[in-house]
Chains A and B, each alone.
Chain A
């Protein structure tokens, strides 16, 4: 490598340019049918959130992210199904 740092892993040396580890900015636990949370350092143009439904045979609620206010919210705006209230969310910076 011509620059930077390489990391010795169990798979040999990795150039950090190929080793963006995916930083976990925030882990949030949903425990209500609806609600919201502010995740100030998350940006969905450069990040990713992953929602884990921890209950079987349950609908996911609807999720909304406002990248300007940095508010993540969930609920049931359709009135069709009531979503599960037992979910965990990872917010990543890629």
Chain B
């Protein structure tokens, strides 16, 4: 690299490169949900059974993606065992372009955006990095979002009845969004229907991905060609 800084971990992995903006936390807010008209949602049990593990009212939560004039990414927490949340794949609403369904009556979100879209910090300590155009790409003075891992490689299998689980922290933040769910076309040929999958906390260190077998159409059949396995990440905010 011709300028800037790279930080490496003990494995030689690049955990920061000042050529690219890091993620800063813009805002934290708890959003109240509301009961949806299509209330009962089911998550598949594992392995292969259609018996529900979570039923009852599934709340809708409308989540803005613009904060302080910046288009940013929302992340949520699952504070207690059994809590689940997943994106509704139909469309957003006027006040929340991304809609989630959850068993929680309210969910706390944080929003993150690239550091070069944020104002520099005002602290006298720490580290700042700037790219060649003078844009701030990293500031240790900002509240940062640290990526701890991907939720990508362990999705439920295409057969839709599966469960996959990922080791996480008890206070990790999660990002899931509807655009990685395959489309349905004119029938049961995809899972872009209502609430196709969710992330559910199993324990303080494990979250599960589960597919939803109820909804419209009733039993989405996911073609392998449409399946997307790259649709989530988790991590920590440095201080929120």
**A interface residues (Cβ-Cβ under 8 A, vs B):** 3-5, 7-11, 14, 16-25, 27, 44-45, 47-60, 62-63, 65, 77-80, 84, 88, 90, 92-94
Contact of A23 among B21, B152, B236, B238 (CB under 8 A): B21
Q: CA–CA, A63 to B83, complex, Å?
A: 29
Q: CA–CA, A53 to B178, complex, Å?
A: 10
Asked, given contacts A8-B125, A21-B145, A58-B92, whether A52 binds B10 with beta carbons under 8 Å apart, the answer is: no
Per-residue A-contact encoding for B96-115, CB less than 8 Å = 1, 0 else: 11100000000000000010
Asked, given contacts A52-B97, A90-B73, whether A21 binds B9 with beta carbons under 8 Å apart, the answer is: no
Asked, given contacts A11-B239, A22-B22, A60-B179, whether A52 binds B73 with beta carbons under 8 Å apart, the answer is: yes
| Interface check B29, CB cutoff 8 A | no
**B interface residues (Cβ-Cβ under 8 A, vs A):** 7-10, 13, 15-17, 20-23, 65-66, 71-73, 89-98, 114, 125-127, 138, 140-141, 143-150, 152, 175, 177-180, 183-186, 192, 230-233, 235-236, 238-239
Q: Can you list 9 pairs linking A and B with CB atoms under 8 Å apart?
A: A7-B127, A11-B239, A16-B9, A20-B9, A21-B138, A21-B145, A22-B233, A45-B152, A52-B73
Q: Which residues from B are CB-within-8-Å of A11?
A: 143, 238-239
Contact assessment for A56 and B93 in the assembled complex, using a CB-CB cutoff below 8 Å: yes
Q: Which residues from B are CB-within-8-Å of A16?
A: 7-9, 15-16
Give 7 closest A-B pairs by Cβ, nearest first.
A21-B22, A23-B20, A51-B179, A78-B185, A56-B94, A11-B239, A20-B15
Contact assessment for A21 and B146 in the assembled complex, using a CB-CB cutoff below 8 Å: yes
Least distance between A65 CB and chain B CB atoms (Å): 8
Contact assessment for A53 and B23 in the assembled complex, using a CB-CB cutoff below 8 Å: no
Contact assessment for A54 and B65 in the assembled complex, using a CB-CB cutoff below 8 Å: yes
Most chain B CB neighbours (cut-off 10 Å) among A10, A44, A59, A84 = A10
Contact assessment for A50 and B7 in the assembled complex, using a CB-CB cutoff below 8 Å: no
Q: Which residues from B are CB-within-8-Å of A24?
A: 20-23, 114
Most chain B CB neighbours (cut-off 10 Å) among A18, A52, A79 = A52
Most chain A CB neighbours (cut-off 10 Å) among B96, B177, B186, B232 = B177
Contact assessment for A55 and B179 in the assembled complex, using a CB-CB cutoff below 8 Å: no
Asked, given contacts A18-B146, A21-B138, A21-B146, whether A8 binds B17 with beta carbons under 8 Å apart, the answer is: no
Most chain A CB neighbours (cut-off 10 Å) among B22, B147, B148 = B147
Contact of B126 among A9, A25, A54, A80 (CB under 8 A): A9
